[in-house]
Amino acid sequence: SAVISQKPSRDICQRGTSLTIQCQVDSQVTMMFWYRQQPGQSLTLIATANQGSEATYESGFVIDKFPISRPNLTFSTLTVSNMSPEDSSIYLCSVALGTEQYFGPGTRLTVT
Amino acid sequence: GENVEQHPSTLSVQEGDSAVIKCTYSDSASNYFPWYKQELGKGPQLIIDIRSNVGEKKDQRIAVTLNKTAKHFSLHITETQPEDSAVYFCAASSRGTYKYIFGTGTRLKVLA
């Protein structure tokens, strides 16, 4: 398995601002993922972030709104840009070890 | 597109009883099926998984069964305990994609 940390654990932000979420893993991994989990809902994949290449976004998610960085094999950031109340969610990063994925604790974002 | 249906959405059982959660997937190319447990305020935790070349896997009180013909798989928890109370998610993944399609989740309550 892998130990994954996220910062911040939670935040309350005003609409129109941006928040950058950090994800750190304790070992080198090729594939990292960012998910959104709206209140009481399931997990929806935002994008796949491989080191050394551009992130691949899922349908309904665009780079201008959710820019992602992946500077090395243990770290990634997700920025939620120009936030609106509809962006209030839990944002989760995960890493792939073989076919298994391990998740971080999540960042709970509230946009007012 | 790919879809994973999960039932029931909520499940209450008496402590010591068994709990069964069922998922059905649509993509016949799916070959890996993990189950996650998410406790309040935490990220999903991988608890058991099964690959398409086996029909059943067991780990202590938890077991998963897979019926490839019917495209459904189930999580079985025996001798439930209050600490089993959580939201459980199934997922399906196709060979080589590393992308998971998650079910909608089951909120399990174990009543003492």
The three state secondary structure string of B17-71 is CCEEEEEEECCCCEEEEEEEEECCCCCCEEEEEEECCCCEEEECCEEEEEECCCC
Q: Do residues A18 and A111 lie in contact, with contact meaning Cβ atoms separated by under 8 Å? A: no
What pLDDT band is residue B52 in, cutting at 50, 70 and 90?
Answer: confident
Of A1, A48, A100, which is closest to B34 when you measure between CB atoms? A100
Contacts made by residues A45-54, CB under 8 angstroms, sequence distance 24+: A45/B99, A45/B100, A46/A78, A46/A91, A47/A78, A48/B98, A48/B99, A49/A76
The predicted-structure confidence for B23-48, as pLDDT tens digits, reads as follows 999 999 999 999 999 999 999 999 99
Give the chain A residue nearest B103 (alpha carbons): A42
Residues of A within 8 A of B36 (CB-CB) are: 103
- Write out residues 36-65 of A within 8 Å (CB-CB) of B: 41-45, 48
The predicted pLDDT at position B1 comes to 65
Q: How many CB pairs under 8 A join A and B?
A: 45
CA A109/CA A87 separation, integer angstroms: 8
Across the interface, do B45 and A103 touch by the CB < 8 Å criterion? yes
- Residue of A24, A43, A56 to mutate when probing chain B, most B C-beta within 10 A: A43
Q: How far is CA B109 from CA A37, B15, B28, B59, B63, in A?
A: 21, 9, 32, 21, 18
* Order of strands across the sheet that contains B62-67: B4-7, B19-25, B72-77, B62-67, B56-59
- Which one, of B91, B72, B28, lies nearest residue A33 by Cα? B91
CA B5/CA B102 separation, integer angstroms: 8
Q: Is the pLDDT of residue B19 over 70?
A: yes
Report residue B44: phi and psi, to 5°.
Answer: -65, 140
The predicted pLDDT at position A99 comes to 86
Please give the mean pLDDT across all residues of chain A: 95
Q: Does any CB of chain A come closer than 8 Å to the CB of residue B35?
A: no
**CA A64: distance to chain centroid?**
14
Q: Does any CB of chain A come closer than 8 Å to the CB of residue B2?
A: no
Q: Is the pLDDT of residue A52 over 70?
A: yes
Q: Do residues B21 and B12 lie in contact, with contact meaning Cβ atoms separated by under 8 Å? A: no
